[in-house]
Amino acid sequence: MGFGGSWKGLGVLRGFGGFEGVWGSWKVAALGGPGGVRGLLRFLQLSPERCLVDGAVSGLPPGPHGLHIHEFGDLSDPCNSCGGHFNPDGESHGGPQDQHRHAGDLGNIWADAEGHARFRIEDSKLKVWDIIGRSVVVAEGEDDLGRGSHPLSRVTGNSGPGLACGVVARSSEPLVLQLLRLL
């Protein structure tokens, strides 16, 4: 896609008002899973190096849960058909602050005692235009950010199977506004 434009495009794009973004528009993923976990995530590219991800997930076991973008937007066997973490650069799994990591590694979100997690993340590697049609998965367990001793640490952060998943999609602005009220 033709997003190779310079920063000068920013001023043109700014000023659409509402929640139309500064570098394109919001994209949305509605999350669900077999265990009743539900959630909503929004993505907005603020600049080529800043991707804003915010959202809310409910029905989680309290505590930390890995949050990752997966390669495929295939929910035919939710959440087992989403493939591995989105990894266009052939890196090992890591944490969101690591230089070497999967592009889809967003670290952990934390669910409170009621099983509700709210979060706002700015990520330097993720690009919204690379993940449309891919999936977001909230993992059962904590992501060890590639620093654990388990063999899966450098693959998935040993965060276990997915509890909820959804496809990143284009969304109409009225829908985004409606979703906003739920967050």
Q: Is 93 in the site for Zn ion (CB under 5 A)?
A: yes
Sheet with 105-111: list strands edge to edge.
105-111, 63-70, 135-139, 162-167
Q: Which stretch binds Zn ion (CB under 5 A): 4-12, 21-29, 89-97, 121-129?
A: 89-97
> What is the closest distance, in whole angstroms, from the C-beta atom of residue 181 to Zn ion in the complex?
32
Helix (H) or strand (E) holding 68, with range, is strand 63-70
> What is the closest distance, in whole angstroms, from the C-beta atom of residue 76 to Zn ion in the complex?
22
SS3 136: strand
Q: Is 42 in the site for Zn ion (CB under 5 A)?
A: no
Q: Is 74 in the site for Zn ion (CB under 5 A)?
A: no
Place of tokens 């090992």: 92
Helix (H) or strand (E) holding 130, with range, is helix 128-131
> What is the closest distance, in whole angstroms, from the C-beta atom of residue 107 to Zn ion in the complex?
10
Q: Which stretch binds Zn ion (CB under 5 A): 24-32, 84-92, 124-132, 133-141?
A: 84-92
Q: Is 130 in the site for Zn ion (CB under 5 A)?
A: no
Contact pick of 65, 85, 125, 134 for Zn ion (by CB under 5 A): 85
Whole-angstrom distance, CA of residue 183 vs CA of residue 72:
25
CA nearest to 75, candidates 111, 130, 30: 30
Place of tokens 């700015």: 122
> What is the closest distance, in whole angstroms, from the C-beta atom of residue 31 to Zn ion in the complex?
18
Q: Is 102 in the site for Zn ion (CB under 5 A)?
A: yes
103 and 130 Cβ atoms separated by less than 8 Å: yes
Q: Is 125 in the site for Zn ion (CB under 5 A)?
A: no
What residue ranges in 71-111 does DSSP mark as E strands? Answer: 105-111
Contact pick of 74, 91, 105, 130 for Zn ion (by CB under 5 A): 105
Tell me the β-bridge partners of 164: 138
Q: Is 70 in the site for Zn ion (CB under 5 A)?
A: no
Q: Is 65 in the site for Zn ion (CB under 5 A)?
A: no
Kindly state the number of chain residues that form the binding site for Zn ion, as judged by CB under 5 A. 4
Binding stretches for Zn ion (CB under 5 A): 85, 93, 102, 105
